[in-house]
Structure 1
Amino acid sequence: MMLVLLQTVALPSEAPPSSTSFLDILMQGGWVMIPIALLSLLTVYLIVERWITVQKAKINPQQIMDRVRSYVEAGDVRGALAYCEAQDKPITRILRHGLERLGRPIAEIRDAVEAAGKYEAFELEKRMDVLASIAGIAPMLGFLGTVTGMIEAFQQIQNLQGNVNPSVLAGGIWEALLTTAFGLIVGILALFGHNVLLTRINRLVNDMERSATDFIDLLQEPVPHPRRHPETLL
């Protein structure tokens, strides 16, 4: 009985399963994980910031042009300007630049509208090139981390003259592959966000170009009411 008890006490107890947190996994990836983590934060910020900008710029271009057309045909330029200022959208800001130059040569009005359109398109596409760069840089950083990790693993094998436990070698390899996995995740997220945002931005730019063209055509149409009050055009 005493022997059985001693044997029971002498048996090694099972070690509790080790839990690895997400932060620990990131730290095992090496120094390359630091720029990848920074790029991931920058990616999320750019996607959210550009998405909010695009959502604020959304508007019905046909409705805007119908309202501006009604004001211009009635000779109420001040009302058209007040309406555009109240909306404060890229399309209305472009039309406002044209309305402010009514009475000048049509070429000057067209140049002002085109310049305003280019500026608004630039504001919508701002920082999109950074998002596209992250989509290409993040996976490359991941591959770099994997290559440097594999170099260190094989250096350890050489230092130990090949007497390496396979489990230790496998652990070094999966730690080296961590950077590739996280780099690909960040790159895919940046590429997806870039493509989705670019599609919506192109749609907005197309609406702005169409509205600008309609506005110039409106100014070249014959006036339906020849009697106009000069004071309303000031």
Structure 2
Amino acid sequence: MHTSTPPSMIQKIVRGFVRLSACALLVGGTFLMTSGLQAQDAAPAAEASAAPVVHQHTLMDRFHEGGWIMYPLLLCSIALVWLTVDLWMRTSIKSMAPPSQVTQVQDLFRAGDYVGAYQFCRSNNSYFADITRVGLSFVGEGQEAVEAALFSELNKTNSIVQTRINYLSVLGVCTPMIGLVGTVTGMMSAFATLGTSGVGDPSKLSAAIGEVLVATASGLAVAVPAFMIFYFLRNRLQVSMHGMQEIVSSLFRKMPYEHLKDAQVGEEEFYAAVPNWVTGNGEVQAVAVAVG
């Protein structure tokens, strides 16, 4: 006698089979997806490992690559910065003729206190004070003597500052030559490398060529700013000197020289005196000259 399986049991078996199939498909899909992602991650990693590593050169690396010639160029660059800062302050009209000093001297000139103006200029350190002090020391000798003294002192001041500015031009001329020395020594090293190891070791040859290029570029990097700053400060000095000349000239423009004739305003020491062969009554004594 044949016994049939109840319908409820068949449905349970079918449902279990469907669930197992769904689980299998889910596991397989997850595995394939994970394998694909791993393959995608592995491909860039393989490409990254196969790509050459690029070394980023720092400023210190470039400095050492330039060789021994970089040390003189470093000193020149430090001198360039120092001269730029120093001359920028020196060539300012407010530094050459401080407004507070100008105002004080103008007030003393208005009051007619020329001795006080001389003492004030002597106790203050500036180009304006020095020029005014020299002019006041000559007021007793007339207008021409004062103008000649002011002109001489202005030229002296201009020459002092201009001489310091000229050092920038010296740096602009010398630093390319120093870089050229590094170029020559680097080329000598490159040819020596070719003579000994040939082109079989390109790293040594590239190091020598790198020294050539870095030394030349460093020399130009110092020379170009030096020339630019030189011309800028030279023009700035001329403008400041014209401004100070106007200030000083305005002080002595209406000077009452007729009331100051033979006056001793300053405390300058004069070394010229009456010749020792002139007597007290103005007669000239006989002077014996030894002829050897």
Do these two structures clear the TM 0.5 threshold for a shared fold by scoring above it?
A: yes
- Determine which of 91, 95, 107 is the counterpart of 1:57: 95
Change (3 A) 1:71 1:163: closer
Aligned to 1:22: 59
- Determine which of 172, 187, 190 is the counterpart of 1:153: 190
Instruction: Give the structure with the higher percent helix.
Output: 1
Matched, 1:134 2:171: yes
Q: Extract unaligned runs of 5+ from structure 1.
A: 1-10
SS in 2 for 1:219: coil
Change (3 A) 1:222 1:72: farther
Amino acid at match of 2:211: E
Question: With CA pairs under 8 Å and 6+ residues apart, which has the higher RCO, 1 or 2?
Answer: 1
Matched, 1:42 2:104: no
Cα distance in 2 for residues equivalent to 1:222 and 1:100: 15
- Determine which of 168, 171, 186 is the counterpart of 2:222: 186
Give the % identical residues: 27
Aligned to 1:93: 130
Q: Tell me by how many angstroms 1:95 deviates.
A: 2.1
Tell me, yes or no, if the aligned pair for 2:97 and 2:127 is still in contact at 8 Å. no
TM-score with structure 1 setting the length:
0.71
Amino acid at match of 2:150: V
Cα distance in 1 for residues equivalent to 2:120 and 2:236: 25
Q: Tell me by how many angstroms 1:180 deviates.
A: 0.7
Aligned to 1:102: 139
Change (3 A) 1:52 1:73: closer
Cα distance in 2 for residues equivalent to 1:42 and 1:88: 25
Aligned to 1:75: 112
Tell me, yes or no, if the aligned pair for 2:143 and 2:257 is still in contact at 8 Å. no
Q: Residues 114-125 of structure 1: matches in 2 within 5 Å?
A: 114-125=151-162
Q: Tell me by how many angstroms 1:110 deviates.
A: 2.3
Cα distance in 1 for residues equivalent to 2:125 and 2:153: 13
Q: Extract unaligned runs of 5+ from structure 2.
A: 1-45, 267-292
Q: Tell me by how many angstroms 1:91 deviates.
A: 2.7
Tell me, yes or no, if the aligned pair for 2:109 and 2:251 is still in contact at 8 Å. no
1:201-232 alpha-carbon deviations (Å, 9 max, x no partner): 11122223344444554337999xxxx9xxxx
Cα distance in 2 for residues equivalent to 1:180 and 1:163: 24
Amino acid at match of 1:108: A
SS in 1 for 2:255: helix
Tell me, yes or no, if the aligned pair for 1:69 and 1:218 is still in contact at 8 Å. no
Larger radius of gyration: 2
Amino acid at match of 2:133: R
Cα distance in 2 for residues equivalent to 1:185 and 1:163: 31
Cα distance in 2 for residues equivalent to 1:123 and 1:136: 21
The alignment of Structure 1 onto Structure 2 pairs a total of residues equal to 213
Cα distance in 2 for residues equivalent to 1:210 and 1:19: 57
Change (3 A) 1:27 1:143: same
- Determine which of 197, 218, 221 is the counterpart of 2:233: 197
